[in-house]
């Protein structure tokens, strides 16, 4: 039985963490805390948990947390994790940080995009980027896991096979991303009021969102060369879910799926190619419990993954280009679900525990 | 041409006022102001008005407003109108106040429900309650119109015929009211964030909402005796519209519609009664341009009135009781539309001007 | 391990049943069927289940179902259950019917409200109304459980304590009910198109909904006398959840909570009364795992119960009258969740299994 | 006064046409028809028009329409216009067709994308594509106007300046389009039920939507060479509005805005370029009443154009590529509003009449 703490329990990701961990047979919620005015039972914050959990949520008391927990989830705004994680780590606790603070390996990039000094850059090399599909082995023994951002999770999973295999032109990757509103956290800003979001749809941070360098970092590693994606996020009038529509040019020298050029043009050739790309994706992810590849002509909807920890991916091979559509639940595979998936890996539980 | 000012132009009611007045052939928007950080063209606040209006929105400058306007709309939070209206009235301006400040004739009731001292109670007797269907004659010459609340507008219009004619038991009126979110104004509170309202529905201020005494005041006048309604408002996950489902007991001594008791029970008798009640309502509102009574078995939906200045009313006669369903657009007939209807009456324009 | 079948698996309730049963450690999904054009893996209908379950969904084959299942859920439109349940029961299977076919004890009432002949009225006396809070003992050994309607579940739970204890005037119960759209099933009608429901709210079947006699039947039994509630359902622009606002007059002879009349009027008296009613409700439901009573001044929202099997109840004691607000998830406590709760009781599993 | 008919009045576009024409001082609604079971006053179909218009909506009677109308709007599904338009035109009526039937100049392309024989291809050359910003002069005297599709309206307006001026690489235009649900019309299909659309978001017809060839046709004309855009439409969970995010590569030989290459890289250079592109767009559309170009860093939201006839366009110059975001109301500038704009041009009314 692992004793688990959640710091930042009153946000959307914290709420999901509580819900998942209440179902987890191997984890015991030992401490729940958040920046709040006064301590209250967690069932008062989230009446849906009333009667199911007795813990009182109070301001985080690091000493108490270190005394009662083996592993701590930080569901905090960025920069706050920077102040708290070191105190837990130095007490020998394992930490899964859902903020952006330890995701970017280059502190300068962090400082550019978050407009803040990185105060714990010494730990960046130790921190493991918590995308199990790529870093499972390292996660197993990690002390500090940097849980990926929601947009990067979908984008990296959608693009990894193409880039790892050198099939895409690295200079022309476009991610048109759409997210539900919980992606922004429980942020008290006019733009997130119901009457502003409802019946509206808008782009924001057009090509300068802070998740872009996170995607760039991981795709560049996979491709073995510097990649800078074009990334435009949009805000959907719905609560949870991300769908990314991704446009890629095929690499000039390497025909997708190894299909000979002469086969192209004919309908049969096209079908074969698509099958090949899909087959290639299926093979790439064949052992992954939470990545599902769609058949040809079939694309994921947000509804297919909402409330689940899956990332569903559909692929359209257009010959010289490829369109990839990926969907996740931003609060699960994009945050709390992936965090528990990481915990399961770290603690030796079956990876799906409490996630199906 | 009437020169018109709007104070509080950046809220939802202010936005509607601008939209309506831009279409009004007899009104000229002369001044637009609001509590804001720095002056900006109104098209910057509301890009939908960009290119259609040049006015800059700034902090209200009463002197300037008095110099340029003949009539001023106050789309302000309550208590703020109390500070501003007197300065306009004493300069001879006509004022239509959309706040609650001059609606309740009894300052003590105001102070109880709004938890504030009323600082201009001397003007309460002069203020005309701006419900044209009841006070049209007084509105015509009014200097200060207290534009009704959104819930009261629907509730009073739905109940007036029954109560004015002594057909309802005054001690058993229940209003189960449901409102879209703009009813609360552009309020920056956690409870109004998209992710809190979306896919949710809740009651609030259960039987102690500040609009109840407003309804009580007007229904009591009509009935000639003290009425205290049971009033439970709810918050709908949609932007605009109010629907009220109203439950009334029939008065013991006065059979509805004058139907003799022996006729009841038979299907024919029931139908006749319903027709009679509906006929009675139609007669009551026959000259009203913005009240529509439905045929038997037909009830209004929010969609039927959203974007319009109509109040639609459906009636079900259940014998000993009556169910009335009324719908309005809370921002139009429940606020800005009714305010312009009042302006039209005050200034001698055809009452429907800019409202159809 | 109980082998379970679902007939009608492609509707909303069927979808929920699959989701719950996939998590159930003691149940094995043995057969999934529905009225469909051609057999397809269930993961094709519901991509969210892809990769989690291999069963093919086909037209129901009663013989095969009888051979492979111990217990069968009927998630069917009414009248269809009437044709299928007898064939399962006569083969010795236990049946939980989510349709309305076996809920009303009086076939004539069924025939009046559903406009159809009841073809299996002989089994009505055997069928157990599947509301565990009232009929747990009978459910335990039942062969045929009539799973309650969604509106009745919330309404009966909200009113049972008052009526069982003789505290309410039985002639004046008003239920103003609001439901999310899945309550209507996956019905292909213009009125349920997105553009018709979105940003709309409407009443329907005003005081003649088929769930009213179900509520009347159960409340009458509890009160020991004939009750006919006023019941007005409304359609909310959201997917799941029911909230009912219920207005009750107190019985003349029996002061609520046994508070002496002289105590009323004073604030202290009022508070005491409210506490007494709430205390009374808490006592009534003290052993119930899925009924939660709110503290004074606190009322449930749909968000508090959506995705759960709970019924949350808030109470406002107004002296001569009481306002009760109850919320459930229409697809869980109002359908599939309650059905599995019944299965758990029937099969000896802990009642919460797979429901938390 | 122009006598106007609407065939297909009960769909979403028809509903909008009625609403607009009721406000039009120079047009008289002379005939309203649709494919319906039996004639009913239009106020019965759309209660929001009750009391405002007396016309009965019946099956179209071409003779009667030809006798009473000068100009007819066809708000019909494609192929139905093909049967009706010729009968009106041969009687000398002017026709504005909102269907796709006369938009594509090449009948073979129509037949490929609509999977139907084109039965009136002889009139394709006469039909004027009703995008006033490009074809105003021709529309003036047109007898048959093919009102553009909603997606093409936004896409063509967003791309015209770049392509007309040779600034874009014609082989690499990507349109990621998102539309509200009314875009699909009042279509009775399971996929358009509220519970399917709500809280969901999905791509559909990935790169084979029938609006793509319409965009290709017009952009190719402007560019003077064959263009084939990559076009992926998505379905938003909201009623009205389209937002398109468009990705363009700059033409190699023609630096955007004529900025010398050496200026690039520096912040000042970037700003200048962006201003230049925006300036260029503003100049291109300077006389257009319904196209608004945003300042740098400012992008349109659906909310800014919903309920209006405007197309708002924002531009981000990324150096080697450009991101353009365009928004319209799919039922107004994308259908009924543009149709009335065309009528205004054809009949000599001020172009904004009834559209502001």
| Paired strand residues for B324 | B246, B315
Nearest-angstrom CA–CA distance, C216 and C108: 14
Give the active site residue among C150, C311, C318, C347. Answer: C150
Residue D356 lies in a domain: no
**Is A319 found in the same domain as A280?**
yes
The token pair that represents A119 in the structure block? 């105060």
Q: How far away is chain A from the Cα of C291, in angstroms, using its nearest Cα?
A: 10
Residue C90 lies in a domain: yes
Q: Between chain A and chain C, how many beta carbons pairs sit less than 8 Å apart? A: 40
Query: Which CATH number covers residue D314?
Result: 3.30.360.10
Q: How far away is chain A from the Cα of D305, in angstroms, using its nearest Cα?
A: 10
* pLDDT score of C208: 93
Q: How far away is chain D from the Cα of B43, in angstroms, using its nearest Cα?
A: 10
| Paired strand residues for C33 | C7, C58
Interface test with C, best of B171, B190, B200 (most C CBs within 10 A): B200
Nearest-angstrom CA–CA distance, B1 and B157: 31
Average pLDDT by consecutive 10-residue portion of chain A (356 residues)?
97 97 98 96 96 96 98 96 98 98 97 94 97 98 98 98 94 97 88 96 96 97 96 98 97 55 48 76 98 97 98 96 98 98 98 97
> CA-CA distances (angstroms) from residue B117 to B38, B120, D33?
30, 9, 59
* pLDDT score of D260: 42
**HSE (side-chain half, CA atoms, 13 Å) at B306:** 20
* pLDDT score of A255: 46
Candidates B280, B286, B337; CA nearest to B310 is B337
pLDDT tens string, chain C, 356 residues long: the values are: 999 999 999 999 999 999 999 999 999 999 999 999 999 999 999 999 999 999 999 999 999 999 999 999 999 999 999 999 999 999 999 999 999 999 999 999 999 999 999 999 999 999 999 999 999 999 999 999 999 999 999 999 999 999 999 999 999 999 999 999 998 888 889 999 999 999 999 999 999 999 999 999 999 999 999 999 999 999 999 999 999 999 999 997 654 444 444 444 455 555 556 569 999 999 999 999 999 999 999 999 999 999 999 999 999 999 999 999 999 999 999 999 999 999 999 999 999 999 99
**Is A274 found in the same domain as A178?**
yes
Give the active site residue among A57, A69, A150, A311. Answer: A150
Residue D354 lies in a domain: no
pLDDT at D258 over 80: no
Contacts of C67 (CB under 8 A, 6+ apart): none
Contact D88, D62 (CB under 8 A): yes
- Per-residue pLDDT tens digits for C170-204: 999 999 999 999 988 888 899 999 999 999 999 99
Closest-CA residue of chain A to B235: A194
Residue B237 lies in a domain: yes
Three-state secondary structure string covering A5-66: EEECCCCHHHHHHHHHHHCCCCEEEEEEECCCCCCEEHHHHCHHHCCCCCCEEECCCHHHHH
Candidates B120, B141, B121; CA nearest to B130 is B141
Catalogue the long-range contacts made by A266-272 (C-beta closer than 8 Å, 24 or more residues apart).
A270/A317, A270/A319, A271/A296
**Is C168 found in the same domain as C111?**
no
- Number of domain units in chain C: 2
- B303: nearest CB among C174, C200, C314: C200
pLDDT at B283 over 70: yes
Residue C320 lies in a domain: yes
Spell out which residues of chain D touch residue C237, defining contact as CB-CB under 8 Å.
194, 198
Three-state secondary structure string covering chain D: CEEEEEECCCCHHHHHHHHHHHCCCCEEEEEEECCCCCCEEHHHHCHHHCCCCCCEEECCCHHHHHHHCCEEEECCCCCHHHHHHHHHHCCCCEEEECCCCCCCCCHHHHHHHHCCCCCCHHHCCCCEECCHHHHHHHHHHCCEEECCCHHHHHHHHHHHHHHHCCCECCCCCEEEEEECHHHHCCCCCHHHEHHHHCCCCEECCCCCCCCHHHHHHHHHHHHCCCCCCEEEEEECCCCCCEEEEEEEEECCCCCHHHCCHHHCCCHHHHHHHHHHHHHHHHHHCCCCCCEEECCCCCCCCHHHHCCCCCEEEEEEECCCEEEEEEEECCCCCCCHHHHHHHHHHHHCCCCCCCCC
**Is C157 found in the same domain as C137?**
no
> CA-CA distances (angstroms) from residue C52 to A292, C308, D196?
11, 21, 22
Nearest-angstrom CA–CA distance, B106 and B118: 10
**Is C240 found in the same domain as C174?**
yes
Residue A227 lies in a domain: yes
**Is A340 found in the same domain as A307?**
no
**Is D156 found in the same domain as D140?**
no
C223-250 in b/e form (b: 16+ CB < 10 A) is beeebebbbbbbbbbbbbbbbbbbbbbb
* pLDDT score of C265: 47
Contact C178 B174 (CB under 8 A): no
Average pLDDT over residues D300-308: 98
Closest-CA residue of chain D to C237: D194
**Is C198 found in the same domain as C66?**
no
Query: Which CATH number covers residue C62?
Result: 3.40.50.720
**Is A308 found in the same domain as A204?**
yes
Residue D353 lies in a domain: no
Nearest-angstrom CA–CA distance, D263 and D261: 5
Residue C177 lies in a domain: yes
* pLDDT score of C279: 96
Residues 25-54 of A with CB under 8 A from C: 47-48, 50-52
pLDDT at D169 over 90: yes
What DSSP string describes B152-188?
A: HHHHHHHHHHHHHTT-B-TT--EEEEEE-GGGG-S--
ipTM of the complex: 0.94
Contact A75, A17 (CB under 8 A): yes
Closest-CA residue of chain B to A237: B194
Phi/psi region, residue C79 (left: phi>0; alpha: psi -120 to 50; beta: rest), is: left
User: Strands, E, within chain C: which ranges?
Assistant: 2-7, 27-33, 40-41, 56-57, 71-74, 94-97, 128-129, 144-146, 174-179, 202-203, 230-235, 242-249, 291-293, 311-317, 321-328
**Is C342 found in the same domain as C302?**
no
Catalytic residue list contains C150:
yes
- Per-residue pLDDT tens digits for C262-313: 444 455 555 556 569 999 999 999 999 999 999 999 999 999 999 999 999 9
Interface test with A, best of D112, D176, D196, D297 (most A CBs within 10 A): D176
Contact D332, D13 (CB under 8 A): no
Is the Cα dihedral B11, B17, B20, B25 positive or negative? negative
Closest-CA residue of chain B to A196: B194
3-state secondary structure of A164: helix
* pLDDT score of B264: 41
**Is A158 found in the same domain as A239?**
yes
Interface test with A, best of B16, B192, B193 (most A CBs within 10 A): B193
**Is A236 found in the same domain as A138?**
no
* pLDDT score of D264: 41
Q: How far away is chain B from the Cα of C211, in angstroms, using its nearest Cα?
A: 18
Nearest-angstrom CA–CA distance, B12 and B6: 12
Average pLDDT over residues D67-81: 96
Q: Is A348 exposed, middle or buried (0-12, 13-18, 19+ CB in 10 A)?
A: exposed
> B343 lies in which domain range?
2-147+335-347
Contact B223, B166 (CB under 8 A): yes
């Amino acid at each position: 039985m692992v004793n688990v703490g959640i710091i930042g329990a009153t946000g959307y990701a914290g709420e999901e963490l509580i819900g998942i961990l209440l179902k987890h047979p191997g984890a015991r919620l030992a401490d729940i805390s958040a920046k709040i005015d006064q301590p209250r039972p967690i069932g008062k914050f989230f009446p849906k948990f009333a009667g199911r959990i007795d813990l009182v949520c109070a301001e985080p008391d690091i000493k108490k947390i270190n005394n009662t927990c083996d592993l701590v989830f930080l569901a905090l705004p960025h920069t706050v994790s920077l102040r708290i994680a070191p105190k837990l780590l130095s007490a020998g606790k394992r930490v899964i940080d859902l903020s952006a603070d330890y995701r970017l390996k280059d502190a300068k990039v962090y400082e550019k995009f978050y407009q803040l000094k990185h105060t714990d850059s010494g730990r960046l090399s130790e921190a493991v980027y918590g995308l199990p599909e790529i870093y499972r082995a390292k996660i197993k023994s990690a002390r500090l896991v940097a849980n990926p951002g929601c947009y990067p999770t979908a984008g990296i999973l959608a693009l990894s096979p193409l880039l790892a295999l050198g099939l895409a032109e690295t200079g022309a990757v476009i991610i048109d991303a759409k997210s539900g509103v919980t992606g922004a956290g429980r942020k008290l800003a006019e733009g997130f009021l119901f009457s502003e979001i409802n019946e509206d749809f808008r782009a924001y941070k057009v090509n300068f969102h802070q998740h872009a360098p996170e995607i760039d970092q991981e795709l560049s590693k996979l491709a073995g060369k510097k990649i800078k994606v074009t990334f435009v996020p949009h805000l959907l009038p719905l609560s949870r879910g991300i769908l990314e529509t991704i446009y890629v040019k095929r690499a000039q020298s390497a025909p997708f799926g190894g299909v000979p050029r002469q086969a192209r043009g004919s309908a049969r050739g096209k079908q074969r190619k698509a099958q090949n790309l899909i087959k290639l994706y299926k093979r790439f992810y064949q052992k992954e419990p939470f990545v599902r590849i769609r058949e040809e002509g079939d694309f994921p909807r947000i509804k297919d993954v909402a409330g689940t920890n899956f990332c569903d991916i559909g692929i359209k091979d257009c010959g010289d280009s490829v369109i990839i559509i990926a969907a996740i639940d931003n609060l699960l595979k994009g945050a709390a679900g992936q965090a528990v998936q990481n915990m399961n890996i770290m603690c030796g539980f079956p990876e799906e525990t409490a996630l199906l």
